[in-house]
Amino acid sequence: MATIGVLAIQGDFLEHRQMLERLGSVVLEVRTRNELDKVDGLIIPGGESTTIVQLLDIFDMRDHLVNLVKNGMPIWGTCAGMIVLANSLTDHRPNPLKLMDINVTRNAFGRQVDSFEADLEIDEVDGQSYKAIFIRAPIVNSVGPNVRVISRLNDGRPVAVRENHMLATAFHPELTLDHRIHQMFLGMVEETRR
Ligand code: GLN
* CATH number of the domain to which 35 belongs: 3.40.50.880
**136, 140, 159: which to mutate for ligand 1, most atoms within 8 A of CB?**
136
- Residue 111, pLDDT > 80, answer no
Residue-level pLDDT at 193: 83
Q: How many domains does the chain have?
A: 1
Mean pLDDT, the chain, integer = 96
> Is 16 known to be catalytic?
no
Q: Of 107, 100, 97, which is closest to residue 170 (Cα–Cα)? A: 107
- Is 135 a pocket residue for ligand 1 (Cβ < 6 Å)? yes
**What residues make up the domain containing 121?**
3-193
**What percent of the chain clears pLDDT 90, i.e. is strictly above it?**
95
**133, 135, 172, 175: which to mutate for ligand 1, most atoms within 8 A of CB?**
135
- Using pLDDT thresholds of 50, 70 and 90, give the confidence band for residue 114: confident
- Using pLDDT thresholds of 50, 70 and 90, give the confidence band for residue 42: very high
- Residue 39, pLDDT > 80, answer yes
- Residue 112, pLDDT > 70, answer no
